[in-house]
Chains A and B, each alone.
Chain A
Amino acid sequence: MTLPESCDVVVVGAGPAGLAAAIECARHGAATVILDEQTGPGGQIYRGITTTPMQKREILGADYWHGATLVSALQSSKATHVPRASAFAVTRADGGGFEVGVSCDGAAALMGAGHVILATGALERPFPIPGWTLPGVITAGAAQILIKSAGLVPEGPVVLAGTGPLLYLVASQFARVGAAIDCLLDTTPPGRIRDAFPHAAAFLTSPYVAKGFALLRQARTSTRIVRGVERLEAIGVERLASVRYTVGGRATEIPAQALLLHQGVVPNVNLSNAIGCNHRWDDALRCFAPVVDAWGATSVSGITIAGDGAGIAGAQAAEARGTLAGLHALAALGRIDLGERDIRAANAKTRVARWMRGRAFVDALYLPSDAFRLPQGDTVVCRCEEITAQQVIATAKLGCPGPNQMKSFLRCGMGPCQGRLCGLTVTELIARERGVAPGEVGYYRLRFPIKPITLGELASLPQTTASTQAVVRMKAH
């Protein structure tokens, strides 16, 4: 697949937000390229939608199959979809616009873009429990991906653990395909309903309430649910063999071949962070999110963010926000004027409001407890470099002011995942040690490339006279 040399709008990510943004931009005649790492469009929520073997509609459900409409709209648009393409850098180009570094099938190139829309979505919040690095432990999202893209289910005993609506969705999807889940260990802290109560009214009049209750009902009938789990441990030598959980101070150990973990999703901030967009600490969701306005515009002019990458709000809101981001980009490029932009945005704005309603309740209800966000002892925090909670805490006690100093002391965050699975944990551990808010502690400072590219690929990118002079110097060392 050859990458166009330049275009008006580059959209990074082909989930609902990216698809909607690309469709909107292409509709108004902007030369639009949409990049995605997967082979087919759909992001994670509509993963595998063009190739899934699970064709019977009732298995993956109507919410999933809605994605097919979006994908088909993209396919009939003039946007260019580049699959298996990883955007590893976005820098300002001399003379305006941006240079987007893209690695596609092992070859890197720079693409010019007038405007960049990031739609990189969310990833699952780290869930650091003892033994979470054992083979056999995967995320609940991963289990969904295996069903959607390959029709694979784990064989028992299968334990599902954590908190959040996705847990119940996965339980119900397993039920629909006839795969057994032995036990659902619910770590939702008891009493959370009290914290969520102020938002209950909005929830009860939101689109989520009916879906929510239906999922809960189905989960209850298909699997054994244990509530109020305070502690969780994956046990095994070389691979998972059992799961130990604690309720009311009493521990129980059950055999397990697969443990599916989930405790919510958080924005994937690596690209927006490396670009230099401002981020803020979202205390309701205990994560960092980019600072954006109603259109998704960030603190960096020409960079807009749509979807869960701007703040968790779900697939339907993501689609509407993608449309808004597209309209914003079009106006910024002068393709449409502000008046037209506002007219065309009206429907999307209404949809955003509709799909945002009720989220505060869900967010408050399913916020993971401190015990599951702040590990201790030998629990691995940085999976890539195998740094434990105890090491992070001990270093924080030495007066380490933040995660970047921590990174230089311990190497945590220096592995290939670039902090995606440890960043929030490290920030919160330091915050607790220092007795300050996580927002004050900050997050890792990310740099390009935000996804690994080979040295050969980097070497193939354009050099300049200035760059050669900066490196090849015939003067004193």
Chain B
Amino acid sequence: MRSRMAREHDVAVIGGGLVGSAIAYGLARLGRRVCLYDEGDIAYRASRGNFGLVWVQGKGQGLAPYGGWTQRSVRRYPEFAALLREDTGIDVALEQPGGFHLCLSEAELAHRVDQLTRLVAQPGFERYAFDVLDRAALGERLPGLGPQVVGATYCRLDGHLNPLRLFRALHAAFLKRGGIYRPNAKVEAITSEGDAFALRTATGRVEAGQVVLTSGLGNATLAPQIGLRATVRPQRGMIVVLERVRRFLEYPLATLRQTDEGTVLIGDSQEEVGFDDTLATAVLATLASRAVQVFPFLRDARVNRAWAALRVMSPDGFPIYEQSAGAPGAFVATCHSGVTLAAAHALELAPRIAAGELGADLSPFLSERLNVQKAA
């Protein structure tokens, strides 16, 4: 039996996106020797496709604990942002003034209110308050709002940040805490060997005490090798980005936000098109046309770029956090809200991975729930 010191790493985190780097940072903060493996510069990289919302409102329909997990992350976010700032000097521009979900018709508004009402009424759901605002009430908070906006739901817990800066801060903080980053090092195979794991990459073989799979869409091929299941599928989302404009918006909206740099991000779309991350003009046109209805004066602002990225979607849309029964010490972590959950991943999930035990309160996120036939 090899000693702990002979192994190259305590933990190998496979996949350097938002989920992987948050967990890796959390582990490094606890003093573990962590190596973060990553692919190359041009890859699907869901992390580059982020809107930047730190969002609670509306989440957890069908899995009440997800609402609680999300709120836990959002509550600890200021602490998390401060830790990152302390470690790196980078300010992720976290703002939590509450957020709006705008509706452009009475039907949309009625549906939305109904949705949220049913959501918070779920048994075991950690309730929060939300306001329903009509056009008049909205007009004061959101100057320049278009006449077609009928109303909105508002939740005080919602916020946003600069997702690229978050990613950069996580990366830098990880390195500062002694983490090792290996880019261009796609992990091709993992095998369980006694109380350690062997990873095979293009450049050779490496041993680690624990393994955390956070490869997003890549989890599907790696997970079965260590007795885990991570059935994820790609879901395409597109974002339209406007040039920098003088500040006009103080709150994040579910589908439009103005960044700390002054640029404006407009989303969001959902399409099931497989591994296709190319742009579709019609979808961009729909995104643009809704944005112009929300803020008509943006009609003259220029679109600087648009991009499409593939979300990592589990079958029910909720995270999967699991430790392999057959190969303890191997974990998988996947979700499509890598920004909102980053605080929880770094400050709550990482310690449990380090302790070798995810805990009963995270059992709703085991993949076995996906076997259960839900009643209609």
Please state if A455 and B279 are interface contacts (CB–CB under 8 Å).
no
Which one, B167, B261, B266, B303, contacts A449 given CB within 8 A?
B303
A414 near B305: Cβ-Cβ < 8 Å: yes
Option from B55, B171, B298, B308 in Cβ contact (under 8 Å) with A455: B298
Once A454-B300, A477-B101 are accepted as A-B contacts, the answer to whether A463 and B168 lie under 8 Å apart by CB is: no
In the complex, which of the residues A91, A403, A462 contacts B279, with contact meaning CB atoms closer than 8 Å?
A91
Q: Which residue of B lies closest to A474 (CB)?
A: B111
Q: How far is the CB of A274 from chain B (nearest CB, A)?
A: 9
Interface-lining segment among B202-210, B218-226, B288-296, B321-329:
B288-296
Q: Is the beta-carbon distance between A408 and B48 smaller than 8 angstroms?
A: yes
Q: Is B41's CB under 8 angstroms from A459's CB?
A: no
Q: Which residues does chain A contribute within 8 Å of B41, judged by CB atoms?
A: 401-405, 441-442
Whether B305 pairs with A461 at a CB distance below 8 angstroms is no
Pick from A91, A418, A456, A476: contact of B305, CB under 8 Å: A418
In contact, A456 and B300 (Cβ under 8 angstroms): yes
How many chain A residues have a CB neighbour from B under 8 Å?
A: 49
Task: Given A409-B168, A441-B41, A472-B290, verify A477-B57 contact (CB < 8 Å).
Answer: yes
- B283 CB within 8 Å of chain A: yes
A99 at the interface (CB under 8 A from B): yes
Q: Look across to chain A and name the residue whose beta carbon is closest to the beta carbon of B50.
A: A408
In the complex, A418 Cα to B305 Cα: how many Å?
8
Q: Which of A401, A471, A473 has the most CB of B within 10 A?
A: A471
Q: CA–CA, A458 to B290, complex, Å? A: 11
A415, A442, A456 — most chain B CB neighbours (10 Å): A456
By CB atoms of chain B within 10 A, which of A399, A418, A468 has the most? A399
Instruction: Kindly state the separation between the CA atoms of A359 and B288 in the bound complex, as whole angstroms.
Output: 47
B-side contacts of A409, CB under 8 Å: 164, 167-168, 171
Proximity bits, A386-416, B CB within 8 Å = 1, else 0: 0000000000001111111100110100111
- B283 to A459, Cβ gap below 8 A? no
Chain A residues lying within 8 Å of B119, measured Cβ to Cβ, are 476
Contacts of A405 in B (CB 8 A): 41, 183
Distance (whole angstroms) from the CB of A272 to the closest CB of chain B: 15
A453 touches B283 (CB 8 A): no
> By the criterion CB–CB under 8 Å, are A463 and B285 in contact?
yes
B contact residues around A418 at 8 Å (CB)? 305
- B300-A458 in contact (CB<8A): no
Provide the residues of chain B in CB contact with A477, threshold 8 Å: 55, 57-59, 101, 254
- Asked whether B286 lies within 8 Å of A463 as measured between CB atoms, the reply is yes
- In the complex, per-residue mask of B186-223: 1 if CB is within 8 Å of any chain A CB, else 0: 00000000000000000000000000000000000000
| Whole-angstrom CA separation of A434 from B302 in the bound complex | 36
Name the A residues within 8 Å of B282 (CB-CB). 461-464, 466-467
Find B167's partner among A408, A414, A473 (CB 8 Å cutoff): A408
Interface residue A448 (Cβ < 8 Å from any Cβ of B): yes
Known: A404-B41, A470-B270. Is A458-B303 also a contact (CB below 8 A)? yes
**Residue tally, chain B, CB below 8 Å to A:** 63
Q: Which residue of B lies closest to A395 (CB)?
A: B168
B117 interface residue (CB < 8 Å to A) = no
Question: Chain B nearest CB: distance from A341 CB in Å?
Answer: 31
A470 touches B286 (CB 8 A): yes
Partner of B290, one of A276, A404, A445, A471: A471
8 Å CB contact of B270 from A99, A454, A473 = A473
Q: Which of A221-266 contact B (CB under 8 A)?
A: none
- Residues on A with beta carbons closer than 8 Å to the beta carbon of B281: 89, 91, 99, 101, 110, 448, 461-462
A459 to B266, CA, bound (A): 12
Q: Is B42 an interface residue (CB 8 A)?
A: yes
Judge whether B302 and A455 touch: CB under 8 Å. yes
- Distance in Å: Cβ of A437 to nearest Cβ of chain B: 14
User: Closest CB-CB distance, B211 to chain A, in whole Å?
Assistant: 21
Chain A residue, CB-CB nearest to B164: A408
Verify if B306 is at the interface (C-beta below 8 Å from A). Answer: yes
Please tell me if A447 contacts chain B, counting CB pairs below 8 Å: yes
Is B136 in contact with chain A by the CB < 8 A criterion?
Answer: no
Query: In the complex the two chains form, is A455's CB within 8 Å of B175's CB?
Result: no
- Tally the A-B contacts, defined by beta carbons under 8 Å: 156
In whole angstroms, what is the CA distance A416 to B242 when docked? 10
| B288 near A458: Cβ-Cβ < 8 Å | yes
- Binary contact readout B268-284 vs A (1 if CB under 8 angstroms, 0 otherwise): 11110000001111111
CA–CA, A445 to B269, complex, Å? 21
Bound Cα distance A476, B305 (Å): 28
Shortest beta-carbon distance from A308 to chain B in Å: 25
Q: Are B171 and A398 in contact (CB under 8 A)?
A: yes
Asked if A461 and B284 make an inter-chain contact with CB atoms under 8 angstroms apart, the answer reads: yes
Q: Judging by beta carbons under 8 Å apart, are B299 and A449 in contact? A: no
Tell me which residues across on chain A come within 8 A of B42, comparing CB atoms: 402, 404, 442, 445
Chain A residue contacts of B333, Cβ below 8 A: none
A470 touches B291 (CB 8 A): no
Q: Is the CB of A476 within 8 A of B300?
A: no
Closest Cβ–Cβ distance, residue B249 to chain A (whole Å):
14
A459 near B58 with CB under 8 A, answer: no
| A147 to B117 alpha-carbon distance, docked (Å) | 68
Q: Measured between alpha carbons, how far is A281 from B139 in the docked complex, in Å?
A: 53
Chain B residues contacting A463 (CB-CB under 8 Å) are 282, 285-286, 289
Q: When chains A and B are docked, how far (Å) is the Cα of A15 from the Cα of B58?
A: 54
- Cβ-defined partner of A471 (8 Å) among B61, B261, B279, B283: B283
- Does A456 lie within 8 Å of B292, measured CB to CB? yes
B-chain residues with CB within 8 Å of residue A401 when the two chains form the complex: 38, 40-41, 183-184
A257 to B286 CA separation, bound complex (whole angstroms): 49
Cβ–Cβ contact A470 & B303, under 8 A: no
Docked pose: A463 CA to B285 CA in angstroms? 6
Q: How far is the CB of A444 from chain B (nearest CB, A)?
A: 10
Q: State in angstroms the CA–CA spacing of A459 and B91 once bound together.
A: 34
> A101, A403, A408: which has the most chain B beta carbons within 10 Å?
A408
User: Do the beta carbons of B291 and A448 come within 8 Å of each other?
Assistant: no
The residue from A441, A445, A455 contacting B299, defined by CB atoms under 8 A apart: A455
Within 8 A of A (CB), among B58-96: 58-59, 61-62
Across the interface, name the chain A residue whose C-beta is closest to B289.
A459
> Is the C-beta of B240 less than 8 angstroms from some C-beta in chain A?
yes
Residues in B neighbouring A471, C-beta threshold 8 A: 268-269, 283, 286-287, 290
Q: Does B131 contact A (CB under 8 A)?
A: no
Contact of A399 among B107, B181, B242 (CB under 8 A): B181
> Does B108 lie at the interface of the complex (its beta carbon under 8 Å from any beta carbon of A)?
yes
Write the B142-184 contact mask toward A (1 if CB under 8 angstroms, else 0): 0000000000000000000000100110011001000001011
The answer to whether A29 has its CB under 8 Å from any CB of chain B is no
- A41: shortest Cβ distance to chain B, in Å? 26
Bound form: Cα–Cα A448–B298 in Å? 19
Question: Is A452 on the interface with B (CB-CB < 8 A)?
Answer: yes
Can you list 26 A-B contacts (CB < 8 A)? A91-B279, A398-B172, A399-B181, A402-B42, A403-B41, A404-B42, A404-B48, A405-B41, A405-B183, A408-B164, A408-B167, A409-B167, A409-B168, A411-B261, A447-B305, A448-B281, A452-B243, A453-B302, A460-B285, A467-B269, A467-B283, A470-B269, A472-B286, A473-B270, A474-B108, A476-B317
The 7 closest A-B pairs by CB, nearest first: A402-B41, A456-B299, A467-B282, A477-B58, A458-B288, A452-B302, A459-B288
Contacts A472-B108, A472-B290 supplied; 8 other A-B pairs, CB < 8 Å: A401-B38, A408-B167, A447-B305, A452-B243, A455-B292, A459-B292, A462-B285, A463-B289
Interface residues, chain B, with chain A CB atoms under 8 Å away: 38, 40-42, 48, 55, 57-59, 61-62, 101, 107-108, 111, 115, 119, 164, 167-168, 171-172, 175, 181, 183-184, 240, 242-243, 254, 261, 266, 268-271, 278-292, 298-308, 317
